[in-house]
Structure 1
Amino acid sequence: MAILSLQGVSKSFGALKVTDNVSFDLAAGEALGIIGPNGAGKSTLFNLITGNLRPDGGKVLLHGRDITQETPMQRCASGIGRSFQIPQPFGHLSVYENLLVAARFGGGVSATEAPSLCMDILHRTGLAALADRKAGALPLLNRKRLELARALATRPRVILLDEIAGGLTDAECVDLIATIRAIHAEGTAIIWIEHVLHALTSVVTRLIALNFGQVLMSGTPDEVMAAPQVQEIYLGIEA
C-alpha cells in the first residue's frame, strides 16, 4: 500500500483551475520530485496535501486512510511534515526552541523525550553549534536547514520540501543534498519541489512534471527531462 495517495484532486480559484484531476501514489521510503514552470500548481499541490487548502474534488489518503477533511494540525500529527519555500521560523526564539515547539505541538512528542530528539536533529542537520542562536539572525542556508529540522522534529513519515535549494551557492547545495540523502536513507519518504535540477535529480528516483495544474508526465528523472514536451514547457526548448 502507498504511504500517500492523491486521487483525482482538483482545486480552483474562481475560474482558474490550479490543480486539475491530479492522481499519484508515493511509496514508503520513496523520493519523488515535482517540477514545472512557475504557476504550474506545485505549491498549491503541497497545500492540498498538508491541508492548508481543501480540494474541490478528489481525495488525499495517508496509509489508505482518507485525510481529505483533516486540518493541517491533524495531518502533521499523522506524519506529514513540510518545509516552506520562504523560511518561516519563530524569529524571536532560539534555533533549539523552534524545534522544541515543532516537536511538542506538531509531533506530539512528550516533554521528557522532546529535548533529546531536538538535539539529535540539530546534530543531523548541522545546527547543533547554533542551538542558542536567535532564529531570526540566521543566514539563508541555516534558515533553510532550520526549516528542514523543524519538519523533522514532528517525526514525519512523509516530508514535503518546497524549493529548499533555491538561493543557495553550489557549495551550500552540496551540504544540503548530503543532509537530505541521509534523511531519505533513514526511510523517510520525500516529495521535493525544486527548480535547482541538479540538486533534485541527485536525490529523487522519480519525477512528476506539472503544467497548468495537470500531470504532464511521470517517470525516471532521465525519462522526464528528455521528453520533448517537458523541455518545451519547462526549459523553453521548442519541441
Structure 2
Amino acid sequence: MVTPASMLALQNVSKSFGALKVTDDVTFDVPEGQALGIIGPNGAGKSTLFNLITGNLPADTGSIHFEGRDVTKVPAMQRCISGVGRSFQIPQPFTHLTVYENLVVAATFGRQSTESDVMRQCAVILERTELIGKANQTSGSLSLLDRKRLELARAMATHPKLLLLDEIAGGLTEGECHALVETIKAIHAEGVTIVWIEHVLHALTSVVERLLVLDFGRVIGIGDPDAIMESKEVKEIYLGIDV
C-alpha cells in the first residue's frame, strides 16, 4: 500500500523470463527511515527484485512508487538521480581508477552538484567508510573488505535517500563483517532508508527493523525479525527444517 510516509512501495509487482516467474505478485512498502532485510534461498528472486526497484529491469505487471511517485516506467538513471542508490553483490569498481576517482564518477553522475561540492562530499564519504587512507590507491589492489567498503561508498556518493545493499557482508570474516555492519548502522542512524539482501543473518538482524522472506519470487512473510525467523513456514522453506 502506498502511503505518504512510504519511501518505497511495491504493489503486485511480477516479472517473468519466458515461462519462469521470478517475481510473483510482490507487495510491500518501506517507511521512510526504516531498514528492511530480505532473505530467501538462492534463486528466490532477491536480486531480480532489486533490479526492478532500480529500473535495471522493467516490471511485467504492478507498480513501484518512490517517495509517493510512480516510477514504474522511469529509467534507472533518473531513479538514481532521484535518490535510489545500490551496491552490487560482486564489487564492480573501475579497477584502473583510484578509490577517490571511483567515488567522483559515482557522485558526478548521481548528483546534481557543483564540482567543489562533489569533491567535498567524496572526502566525507571516504572518512565515513574508513577508506580515506586508501583514497589514492587503485581500486583493483584493494582487499575484499575494502572492495565492499568501496561498493558502499560509491552507492553513498550518489546521495541516496534509499540505499539497496546486495549481500554486502558475503565472504567477509567475522571481524570484517562486524566492522562493515558498524558503518552501515551509522549510515542508517543518519536517516537513510535501507533495503538489505543478505545471507549473513546475524549481520542483517543487527541492523534491520523488519524482515521480508522471498521464496520462488513470492513474499511468504514480512514483519518483526524474531517473529519471522520463528515462523513455521520460514523454517521449512528457508532453513530447510521439517517442522
Q: Give the TM-score range, shorter chain.
A: over 0.9
2:38 to 31, 34, 39: 34
Instruction: Please tell me whether residue 142 in structure 1 is matched to residue 174 in structure 2.
Output: no
- Offset, 1:228: 1.1
Deviations 1:181-230 (A, max 9, x none): 00000000000000000000000010000001000001111011000110
What letter corresponds to residue 157 of structure 2 in structure 1? A
Instruction: Please tell me whether residue 64 in structure 1 is matched to residue 68 in structure 2.
Output: yes
Tell me, in whole angstroms, the C-alpha distance in 1 between the residues paired with 2:214 and 2:49.
10
Instruction: Please tell me whether residue 113 in structure 1 is matched to residue 117 in structure 2.
Output: yes
Name the TM-score, length of structure 1 as normaliser. 0.99
Name which of structure 1's ranges 109-118 and 39-48 shifts more when overlaid on structure 2. Answer: 109-118
1:141 match: secondary structure: helix
Q: Could you tell me the percent identity over the aligned residues?
A: 63
- Give the aligned length: 239
What letter corresponds to residue 51 of structure 2 in structure 1? N
- Offset, 1:107: 2.1
Q: Residue in 1 aligned with 2:185?
A: 181
Tell me, in whole angstroms, the C-alpha distance in 2 between the residues paired with 1:228 and 1:22.
21
Name the TM-score, length of structure 2 as normaliser. 0.97
Instruction: Please tell me whether residue 190 in structure 1 is matched to residue 181 in structure 2.
Output: no
1:22 to 17, 22, 26: 26
Tell me, in whole angstroms, the C-alpha distance in 1 between the residues paired with 2:43 and 2:70.
28
- Offset, 1:108: 2.5
Where do 4+ consecutive residues of structure 1 move more than 6 Å?
none
Alignment of 1:1-239 (within 5 A): 1=4, 2-239=6-243
| Matched-pair contact (CA < 8 Å) for 1:3–1:63 | yes
Tell me, in whole angstroms, the C-alpha distance in 2 between the residues paired with 1:194 and 1:122.
24
- Offset, 1:109: 2.6
Specify every segment of 5 or more residues in structure 1 that has no aligned partner in the other structure, as ranges. Answer: none
Tell me, in whole angstroms, the C-alpha distance in 2 between the residues paired with 1:53 and 1:107.
22
Specify every segment of 5 or more residues in structure 2 that has no aligned partner in the other structure, as ranges. Answer: none
What letter corresponds to residue 29 of structure 2 in structure 1? D
Tell me, in whole angstroms, the C-alpha distance in 2 between the residues paired with 1:70 and 1:110.
25
2:115 match: secondary structure: coil
